[in-house]
Structure 1
Amino acid sequence: MDTFSLTPELLLILSAVAFLAGFIDSIAGGGGLITVPALLTAGVPPHMVLGTNKLSATFGSAIASFAYIRQKLFSPSLWWPNLLATAIGAGIGAVIAHFLSASFLEKFLPVIVFACGIYFLFSKTPDKKMPDHVVIKRGRQWPQGLTLGVYDGLVGPGTGAFWMISTLVMYPVDLLRASGVARTMNFVSNGVALVVFISYGQVAWSLGFCMGCALMIGSYLGANSAIKGGSKLIKPIFICVVMAITIRLVWKNWLGGG
């Protein structure tokens, strides 16, 4: 049940934010770094922020994942250990999130968002060509999937970008295929975590569905843009938006601002 005031104007603004987040997330990851701070700033309770964000993110990650699979940029048979480990980790993380206090989340989430924003500001994503014969080591997938699955279920922001970067470092894949892995694993962890948040009644349904539809459109356009071109123009905009919203959250939750 929605436990906060949701005006038509606020719904329109958050839907526009979700569209932007979906577009960016499907290309470079990190859409949650935009939607989570926006939901917190709008006054949504912290636990419901996580559940509502999972609902909307599931829409976007589903459509983006489908786009990459359709273009044969992701093969489930090569990545099944990661799919399973991610699902397990996301369930564990979402359960842990339920037992964290709202006051802790109000202070913890801005720190995570800020840290991720700083990381992306100074990080360089390697771009390498994919060899003709790829060997994906399955032993590496279990710790990767469990770790990022727990993080996505517990907090979430930045998971897609973490997937891309860790996949590029750990496996002989190129940027597009790493993005395909990230989007598909995001879909799995979002879906599993969403089930847990629903069971605890921590989803604002009307807001989540509206943001989800907007995020889905943004993800579709972004995924196709990524497949055709890349994300060089997206990252600077992404960093600026994240930092601006993070400063607002720190001012409100840490410094006592209005």
Structure 2
Amino acid sequence: MLEISLDLILLLLAAAFAAGFVDAIAGGGGLITLPVLMLAGLSPAQALATNKVQGAFGAATAAASYAASGLVDLRSQWRPALLAGLAGAAGAVLISNIPTEGLRIVLPVILIGIAIFFALKPGLNDLDRTQRLTPALFALTAVPLIGFYDGLVGPGAGSFYMIAFVTLAGYGVLKATAHTKLLNFASNIGGLAAFALVGQPMWLLGLAMGAVQILGAVLGSRLAARTGARLIKPLLVVTSTALALRLIWQMI
């Protein structure tokens, strides 16, 4: 059984708090927690599984906080959430059967593109804009595609949900963030259900990190609800760029 020193446990808890805060605002919490879980000595599959355990707490807390603020109607969003959950489970189940190397090469380019989009595109604010897909078509296409990616790979899924809501569903930045956390939670739970069968998550560690991540998610979602696009846009640019750089570094 893996033994983790006290200093690494404290580092994992600090990472979980930071991840909860950042993830509630702009996504990308896995960028913080996954490397630290690997540093603690977990295998890649076990790190991914444990990350799903702790990440579910932060996503659930952020989604509930945004719903309480009136930014997302849970009753009208349960169908897209269900599709995201099923797709996340499918991605996690197929993780060992689908080659992901090509995706890892393309992913940094996509993430840098997302960062440039949010950094340079004028008029990105909290006001809704032109809707390019109907809610039903959006739920049947973009949602399961990103949910599948969340179960298969994970980090960056929040950024993809965000840009889909902004460009395809026509949501303002704050509203897109609120709906992103709901779907992120759903695909996270779906992936966790599958990983629990094959990935052997470290439940106690994941639950401890999840409890701390709740605190970060509460703080982050409340701050985002007050400041909106002024905070979300720059943090989204930073997290997308950081995730892209990390992926490039791994390939070197």
Q: Distance in 2 between matches of 1:172 and 1:237?
A: 23
CA contact (8 A) 1:152 1:190 kept: yes
Tell me how far apart the structure 2 counterparts of residues 63 and 128 of structure 1 sit (CA, whole Å). 22
Counterpart amino acid of residue 223 in structure 2: S
* Structure 2 equivalent of residue 123 of structure 1: 117
CA distance in 2, matches of 1:87, 1:141: 12
Amino acid at match of 2:84: T
Percentage identity across aligned positions? 31
Counterparts of 1:170 and 1:22, CA distance in 2: 26
Superposition deviation, residue 99 in structure 1: 4.7
Secondary structure, counterpart of 1:124 in structure 2:
helix
1:21 aligns with 19
- Alignment equivalent of 2:173, drawn from 160, 164, 175: 175
Distance across 2 between alignment mates of 1:8 and 1:148: 36
Structure 1 residues 108 and 46: alpha-carbon distance in aligned structure 2, compared to 1, 3 A threshold: farther
Read off the aligned partner of 1:231 and give its amino acid letter: I
> Hey, what does 2:93 align to over in structure 1?
95
Corresponding residue number in structure 2 for 1:211: 209
The amino acid that maps onto 2:69 is Q
Equivalent of 1:73 in 71, 74, 79 = 71
Residue 112 of structure 1, CA deviation: 7.5
Report if the CA contact (8 A) 1:52-1:208 is conserved: yes
Residue-by-residue CA offset, 1:151-193 (whole Å, 9 max, x unaligned): 1111110111111110011123211111111000011111121
Name the count of aligned residue pairs.
242
Q: Give me the whole-angstrom Cα distance separating, in 2, the residues matched to 1:23 and 1:202.
A: 26
How far did residue 31 of structure 1 move? 1.1
2:33 aligns with 35
CA contact (8 A) 1:109 1:155 kept: no
Of stretches 118-127 and 41-50 in structure 1, the one that deviates more from structure 2 is 118-127
Deviations 1:173-225 (CA, angstroms, capped at 9, x unpaired): 21111111100001111112111111225201222122212211111100000
Structure-2 separation of matches of 1:108 and 1:47: 19
Q: Counterparts of 1:101-250 in structure 2 under 5 Å?
A: 114-115=108-109, 118-124=112-118, 126-130=124-128, 137-229=135-227, 230-231=231-232, 234-235=235-236, 238=239, 242=243, 246=247, 250=250
Output the CA distance in 2 between the equivalents of 1:159 and 1:241.
14
Helix, strand or coil: the match of 2:194?
Answer: helix
CA RMSD of aligned residues (A): 2.8
Show structure 2 runs of 5+ residues with no match. none
| Alignment equivalent of 1:47, drawn from 45, 50, 74 | 45
Q: Secondary structure at the match of 1:34?
A: helix
Name the aligned partner's letter for residue 169 of structure 1.
T
Letter in 2 for 1:197: F
For residues 214 and 109 of structure 1, the distance between their equivalents in structure 2, rounded to whole angstroms, comes to: 32
8 Å Cα contact 2:12/2:36 also seen in 1? yes
Contact 1:63 1:216 (C-alpha < 8 Å) held by counterparts: yes
- Aligned partners of 1:148 and 1:163 also within 8 Å: yes
